[in-house]
Amino acid sequence: MAKIMNVLVGGLPTVLTLASLACLLLVAVPRSRFLNFEFATVDTYKVSVTVGQDTFKGLPDAYDYSKHKDFYKIYLWHYCSGTLQDGKQHVDFCSKAGHLLYGLFGFWKHWGVGVRRAGGVGFYWLGKGPRMLFVSYLIAIALSCLTLISGFLVKLHPIVRKVAFGLASLSTSTILATAILTQVTYGVLISRADDDDIAITAKSGKVAYIINWISVCLSLAALAITYLRQRQSSSQASAKSRSMGKEKYKMVADPYVQEGTRDSVHLLDPVGQEKGVAPSPRTSHDGERYEPYRVDKPV
């Protein structure tokens, strides 16, 4: 039973790392229109523009033949758009990976819609997307994969154990930074899009952020367990080395010779002395070692 528990505890960091990686992929990988793991939703159904005798509602989707849409859902690598039907959102288009919503903002300006600038400072990534966020997710996923691989190789050598711990630390730090960066990035977008002076509103998605923080917690738990196991292994190794260095000596009355019994043992080797060789400890019939140079005093 103890062995089974040791195996389960030993493999727990790997399981937690795998679960953390799955959460990252769930948020980062492009998905179908049926999964609502968006970072933010931009509502455009309030926009109404009259051209001649025609009135257009919503904003055009340049990647979907400029069809006017009532909302846009923002994901990491793409977006999805759709219309309101009976008060419910119906997604009818998702862009290809790399076709981001930020590419439409310049086109929307012709319809009188834009994202406000706070204090005259522009939102620098609005035209090209948050590239730092893309890089952060890729690094977090790559480090998680390396941590997972090192977890399977940790028993090969003590150096591998140290490398695995270092990778786990870097992976956890990167995942935490990614979660914070995601929250701040889309939070700023929502705060600047949701304004009374313009006809679009924005709201934050909840599921994606929850999954991000679950990934952080799982990675932190894996790192903590790995650290405790490292400390336990180091303590056991130190205790073992100390026990191996201890010798049991039998106290003798004379520093060199114990006599008066049938099994008298001469502790100095005269042959060795004649040759100039340092005497070595001798062993009696019961296997106890004698100290040739020191007499232990009773405790």
CA distance 252 to 55: 111
Residues 174, 280 share a domain: no
Same domain, 185 and 285: no
156 and 213 in a single domain? The answer is: yes
The whole domain housing 292 covers 251-299
Residues 120 and 147 in one domain: yes
In a domain? residue 246: no
What's the pLDDT tens digit per position in 221-253?
999 998 888 777 666 656 565 565 555 545 555
Specify the amino acid at residue 155.
Answer: K
Two tokens, residue 21: 């990686």
> What is d(CA 13, CA 224) in angstroms, rounded to the nearest whole number?
9
pLDDT in tens, 129-181: 677 888 999 999 999 999 999 888 877 777 888 888 899 999 999 999 999 99
Over 80: is that where the pLDDT of 220 sits? yes
C-alpha span between 218 and 228 (Å, rounded):
16
Q: Are strands 59-61 and 79-85 parallel, antiparallel or unpaired?
A: unpaired
Burial 105-132 (b: 16+ CB within 10 A, else e): beebeebebbbeeeeeeebeebeebbee
Same domain, 24 and 87: yes
Q: Is the domain of 266 the same as that of 166?
A: no
pLDDT at 197 over 70: no
Q: Could you report how far apart the first and last alpha carbons of the chain are, in Å?
A: 42
- Is 185 in the same domain as 258? no
- pLDDT averaged over every residue in the chain: 75
Mean pLDDT of 6-27: 82
* Domain co-membership, 234 together with 283: no
Count the helix, strand and coil residues of the chain and give each as a percent rounded to the nearest 5: 45, 15, 35
Put simply, whether the predicted model's pTM sits higher than 0.75 gets the answer no
Assess if residue 81 is contained within a domain: yes
Residue 74 has pLDDT above 80, yes or no: yes
pLDDT score of 121: 45
182 & 161 share domain: yes
CATH code of residue 155: 1.20.140.150
**pLDDT of amino acid 229:** 81
Identify whether residues 35 and 168 lie together within a single domain: yes
Where does residue 203 rank: exposed (0-12), middle (13-18), buried (19+ CB within 10 A)? middle
Our count of domains for the chain comes to 2
Mean pLDDT, residues 206-222:
94
